[in-house]
Amino acid sequence: MLYHIVTYGCQMNVHESEKIANVLEELNYQPTENREDADIIVFNTCAIREGAENRAFGNIGALKQQKKRNKNLIIVVCGCMTQQKDVQEKIFKTFPFVDIVIGTHNLYNLKTLISRKITDRKRIKEYQESGELHEELIAKRTSGDNAWVNIMYGCNNFCTYCIVPYVRGREISRKKSDILNEIKDIIATNSYKTITLLGQNVNSYGNDDKTQGTFSELLQDICNLDGDFKLTFMTSHPKDLSDEVIDVMSKNDKILKELHLPVQSGSNKILKAMNRNYTIEHYLDIVKKLRDKMPNIRLTTDIIVGFPGETEEDFNQTCELVKKVRYDGIFAFMYSKRSGTVAEKLPNQIDEDTKHNRVNYLLDLEKEIKAQKEN
Ligand code: 5AD
Ligand code: SF4
pLDDT higher than 90, residue 277: yes
Mean predicted confidence (pLDDT) in 259-279: 98
Per-residue pLDDT band for 103 (boundaries 50, 70, 90) equals very high
pLDDT higher than 90, residue 51: yes
Per-residue pLDDT band for 2 (boundaries 50, 70, 90) equals very high
**What CATH fold (topology level) applies to the domain 2-126?**
Rossmann fold (3.40.50)
How many whole angstroms from 263 Cα to the centroid of ligand 2? 11
Asked if residue 262 has its Cβ within 6 Å of ligand 1, the reply is: yes
Mean predicted confidence (pLDDT) in 160-187: 97
Asked if residue 333 has its Cβ within 6 Å of ligand 1, the reply is: yes
pLDDT higher than 90, residue 310: yes
Mutate to test the pocket of ligand 2, among 11, 12, 104, 155 (most ligand atoms within 8 A of CB): 155
Mean pLDDT of the chain: 96
Ligand 1, atom 2: nearest CA belongs to which residue? Answer: 335
Mean predicted confidence (pLDDT) in 225-247: 97
In this prediction the pTM is 0.96
Least confident of 79-83, 142-146, 200-204, 361-365: 142-146
pLDDT higher than 90, residue 143: no
Asked if residue 264 has its Cβ within 6 Å of ligand 1, the reply is: yes
Got the DSSP string for 103-150?
-GGGGGGHHHHHHHHHHH---EEE--SS----TT------STTEEEEE
How many whole angstroms from 178 Cα to the centroid of ligand 1? 30
How many whole angstroms from 136 Cα to the centroid of ligand 1? 30
Give the ligand 2 atom nearest the CA of 264: 7
Pick the CATH number of 153-374 from 3.40.50.720, 3.40.30.10, 3.40.50.300, 3.80.30.20: 3.80.30.20
For residue 235, is the peptide bond before it cis, meaning its omega torsion is within 30 degrees of 0? yes
pLDDT in tens, 17-31: 999 999 999 999 999
* Residues 6 or more apart in contact with residue 262 via CB below 8 angstroms: 235, 236, 237, 238, 301, 302, 303
Ligand number with the minimum distance to the CA of 275: 2
Q: Where are the domains of the chain?
A: 2-126, 153-374
* Residues 6 or more apart in contact with residue 28 via CB below 8 angstroms: 1
Asked if residue 161 has its Cβ within 6 Å of ligand 1, the reply is: yes
Specify the higher pLDDT residue, 279 or 132. 279
Ligand 1, atom 14: nearest CA belongs to which residue? Answer: 302
Residues 151 and 198: beta-carbon distance below 8 Å:
yes
How many whole angstroms from 28 Cα to the centroid of ligand 1? 37
Per-residue pLDDT band for 111 (boundaries 50, 70, 90) equals very high
Amino acid at 31: P
Tell me the CA distances in angstroms from 202 to 147, 170, 273, one per residue in order: 16, 13, 23
Q: Which helix (H) or strand (E) holds 5?
A: strand 2-7
